[in-house]
Amino acid sequence: MKSYKIAVLPGDGTGPEVINEGLKVLEAVSKRHGFKTELQHYDLGGERYKRTGEVLPDSVLAELRKFNAIYLGAIGHPDVKPGILEKGLLLKLRFSLEQYINLRPVKLFPGVDCPLKDKKPEDIDFVVVRENNEGLYVGEGEFINKGTADEVAVQISRNTRRGVERCLRYAFEFTRKRNKRKTLTLCGKTNVLTYAFDLWERAFHEIGAKDFPDIKRDYAHVDATCMWMVKNPEWFDVIVTDNMFGDIITDLAAMIQGGMGIAAGGNINPQGVSMFEPIGGSAPKYTGKNVINPLAAICAGQMMLETLGEDKAAAEIEDSVKWVTAKKLKSLAAGKMGYGTREVGDLVVKGLDPQARN
């Protein structure tokens, strides 16, 4: 029997609650499809940091390299200064494990309230490929004359040909495999960021023309991308962009698919260990109340199975989630679902079996 070693990092706030539901679904779907998961839990996050001062010990990082995948809940603790856990844990994992793609599907499921008037599930179905190892996130920069009236703060966006190229190639391949509109949109800002997006645009057209002639190339500035996402989201198939723009546009994208309760993402190293997470934060105010929506974490588990090659099991999870959003939940918002966190997990488990969807 196939078996996958999965490192589980529930993290902070509501992370553990949503991960529990995700694991419940994984367990059930693995039984139905004849594979096993070997789970190992790690208590990384705000509590451990407060207790021991450790954020991500080197020994743990070394261990994490040996898993087939990492399943992450949420990072961010109200008692820990912003930046410590985000940089020291989340970004450090993404960078150290060379998860150079942040894959964020944007799909409006049936029955989900969309804030865009008249937009239906068939109108909102695209994927954002966010570069995940470079750009402004490298943390390079300096202060000059800090604390004085002449202070200057510099923050560098680093874009390497190698880093940009591997991201673009992944996006082109992904667009080809997805086989929908065969259109890849580069989201940038070539009119102002005349170094960074000059490189992106040149590489985009060179690689596209040479190796992906079957994929239509499209370009939109990041501000226009935001506008189109609200006005005509049906125009998008796959969007590729840098780390910072990808961060920003995927929060907007999450809102048009029904909110943080449903938005999942994968930090992908196509040759190594990938990490899957709901993209919303740790939502501390809802912690321990059984009100947070676990669907984003469940969908992150689905992406994990897809990446591991368990396509049928992944599709079954998606079908069940669609049944739950269409027929069961009143809303996707925390505390307004009409069910508790654990009950939503139970519903998804139940709906794995098509006969049980009633």
Distances (CA, A) of 13 to 57, 60, 76, 291: 21, 21, 7, 12
90 binds ligand IPM (CB under 6 A): yes
**Binding-site partner at residue 90 among Mn ion, ligand IPM, none, CB < 5 to 8 Å by type:** ligand IPM
**Binding-site partner at residue 308 among ligand IPM, Mn ion, none, CB < 5 to 8 Å by type:** none
| Residue ranges in 208-247 that form contacts with Mn ion under rule CB under 5 A | 247
**Nearest residue (CB) to ligand IPM, 131 versus 310:** 131
**Binding-site partner at residue 242 among Mn ion, ligand IPM, none, CB < 5 to 8 Å by type:** none
**Nearest residue (CB) to Mn ion, 37 versus 99:** 99
First and final C-alpha spacing in the chain: 32
Pairing state of beta strands 69-74 and 35-41?
unpaired
Q: Which residue is nearest to ligand IPM (CB)?
A: 86
Burial of 304 (0-12, 13-18, 19+ CB in 10 A): buried
| Residue ranges in 279-298 that form contacts with ligand IPM under rule CB under 6 A | 279
Burial of 205 (0-12, 13-18, 19+ CB in 10 A): middle
Residues 39, 23: contact at Cβ < 8 Å? yes
Min dist CB 86 to ligand IPM, Å, is 4
For 262, the token pair is: 């449903």
Question: Which residue in 33, 41, 47, 86 binds ligand IPM (CB under 6 A)?
Answer: 86
| Residue ranges in 228-267 that form contacts with ligand IPM under rule CB under 6 A | 247
131 binds Mn ion (CB under 5 A): no
Query: In this chain, which stretch among 36-44, 83-91, 211-219, 227-235 interacts with ligand IPM, using CB under 6 A?
Result: 83-91
Min dist CB 275 to Mn ion, Å, is 15
70 binds ligand IPM (CB under 6 A): no
**Nearest residue (CB) to Mn ion, 60 versus 248:** 248
Min dist CB 135 to ligand IPM, Å, is 11
Query: In this chain, which stretch among 86-94, 208-216, 317-325, 336-344 interacts with ligand IPM, using CB under 6 A?
Result: 86-94
Min dist CB 252 to ligand IPM, Å, is 12
Q: Which residues bind Mn ion (CB under 5 A)?
A: 247
Could you list the residues that contact ligand IPM (CB under 6 A)? 86, 90-91, 247, 279
